[in-house]
Amino acid sequence: MSHPLFAQIEREMPGYLSAAIGSLDNSSAMSVHAAGGLSLDEAAAPLVAMVKAYTDTYEALGGRIDMGSNDEVLISASKGYLLIKVDHRSRRFIAVLLSSNGNIGFLRFQLRTWIRKLSA
């Protein structure tokens, strides 16, 4: 199943490898796209579990101290990044896998726009 945002993500993001749009409440509802070889499809179940764990951790902490609004989940490796942004209202998320020659700062900027589109 393809989401219209994927074409835009692939077009606008140098170093793009793969993207996923998923739901914290329904792990089978994840939509995945890949530019070529490596796809987030191969990690769908643990990806949803990880984002859910992150959200639960944040909410548990946020109830006790003022953490401010949360921003992102980032897995940073020597050859790439996996950056995830969650819309807490709709409980949906976007994950983008980027090679290390990609532009992580611009990805963050675009994810803020894309997550607003997703939740609109």
The footprint of other proteins (CB under 8 A) covers 12, 14, 68-69, 71-72, 74, 76, 103-106, 108-109, 112
Q: Which is nearer to other proteins, 4 or 105 (CB)?
A: 105
Q: Which is nearer to other proteins, 25 or 71 (CB)?
A: 71
Minimum distance, C-beta of residue 103 to other proteins, in the bound complex (Å) = 6
Residue whose pair of structure tokens reads 């939740």 in the numeric block: 119
Residue 18 burial by CB count (10 A; 0-12/13-18/19+): exposed, middle or buried? buried
Minimum distance, C-beta of residue 63 to other proteins, in the bound complex (Å) = 19
What CA–CA distances, in Å, run from 76 to 31, 63, 79? 23, 27, 8
